[in-house]
Amino acid sequence: MKSGVLVGAALALTLALAGCGKTDLSNVEASDAAPQQPQMAGSTQKIKIVGSSTVAPFSTTVAERFGATSPYPTPIVETTGTGGGFKSFCQGIGPDQPSLSNASRPIKPSETALCASNGVNDIIPIEVGYDGIVVANSKLGPDFDITKTQLYLALAQEIPDGAGGFKPNPYTSWNDVDPGLPDQPITVFGPPPTSGTRDAFVELGMELGAEALPEMAALRASDSDAFKERSHTIRTDGAWIDFGENDTAIIQSLVKTPTAIGILGHSFLEQNGDRIKGAALAGVPATFEHINSGQYGLSRVMFIYVKVQNLPLMPGLYDFLVYYTDDDAFGPDGYLIEKGLIPLDDADRQAQRDIIAGLESQAAR
């Protein structure tokens, strides 16, 4: 099962880092002459959560309910994008540092190395559910049924020239890419390079779409690094417009610009279905059911990463994790479904709870 493999791989990486990294908290943020433990958080200290704009609405909802029903204050949720979240999360240990990082993709080796360089060497991912990446446009715009290969051809910086080389992307309208697509200019509002949504879009969409072309399949076989560079590099001539870590701003701009499309998480489509609509992907509509079943080809797992070394320093952190992974929250009938969360299956949800249960002995109570 895909989610189980992701958890297993991430845990293996965590254990390997713990084996070679620094684990003695007395050395963190300390002078050579007088090592000191990070101070224990007081009862009013707030859990800090950073990271993905896609996961943030779910974590914010859980945080608000947790603050209202537990003896602990409402956690602070900051939207920084997945990449920006890991950069902040990896800066150090202690109650003043983020304890959790929302992520719409797995952590990268370079980010794990940053964490380790700052003594953050015990990190565990918790899967919270699925989300789809959708191509959306205004309700007043044309209907789209698009393939991953068409997305690659429309948005790549350079595309095959048919003679064994590459040329700057010449396409200006969607029906230049394929006569069956709308006769509309290629104008795409999308997330910036720090976004996990963008990372997932280029990996699950453009990369797989590029591979369907014979020239790109041959390049992958001969030079995988060059293939990745070609398939992941988005054009910079104005057809793609970075919109920051704010899917709501993308939606507002789509409403004002019916000829444009946007790249965003399915949960935002669910929450704004009265104003925008999702494109079908190779004939498969971007619906809850199709993402949940795996039929929709642009779906990904969403995570919260736990800084295990903060568990004894941050009262309420363990309780928050238990609260987040209760079926009342992330289960098939949980309140996060109303926010657009697509739940894990029963076995995978229990697997996340088992991981958290293994952390109880380290928690501050």
Whether 273 and 316 map to the same domain: the answer is no
pLDDT of residue 365: 64
Whether 37 and 177 map to the same domain: the answer is no
The boundaries of the domain holding residue 71 are 2-131+302-362
The average pLDDT across 257-285 equals: 94
- Taking only the tens place, the pLDDT of each residue in 91-104 is 999 999 999 999 99
- pTM metric for this prediction: 0.78
The average pLDDT across 21-46 equals: 40
Provide the 3-class DSSP secondary structure of residue 103: strand
Whether 59 and 203 map to the same domain: the answer is no
Whether 207 and 284 map to the same domain: the answer is yes
Whether 249 and 170 map to the same domain: the answer is yes
Whether 152 and 295 map to the same domain: the answer is yes
Q: How far, in Å, CA of 11 to CA of 123, rounded?
A: 8
CB 247 within 8 A of CB 188: no
pLDDT at residue 47 tops 50: yes
Q: Which two tokens stand for residue 131?
A: 């989300």
Whether 143 and 198 map to the same domain: the answer is yes
**Stretch (H or E) spanning 317:** helix 317-324
Q: Give the domain-ending residue among 299, 317, 349.
A: 299
Q: How far, in Å, CA of 199 to CA of 196, rounded?
A: 5
Whether 317 and 331 map to the same domain: the answer is yes
CATH number at residue 207: 3.40.190.10
- Taking only the tens place, the pLDDT of each residue in 174-189 is 999 999 999 999 999 9
Q: How far, in Å, CA of 231 to CA of 251, rounded?
A: 26
Q: How many domains does the chain have?
A: 2
Whether 84 and 220 map to the same domain: the answer is no
- Confidence grade of residue 70 (pLDDT, cut at 50, 70, 90): very high
- Confidence grade of residue 248 (pLDDT, cut at 50, 70, 90): confident
- Confidence grade of residue 82 (pLDDT, cut at 50, 70, 90): very high
pLDDT at residue 127 tops 50: yes
Handedness of CA 15, 7, 355, 316 (dihedral sign): positive
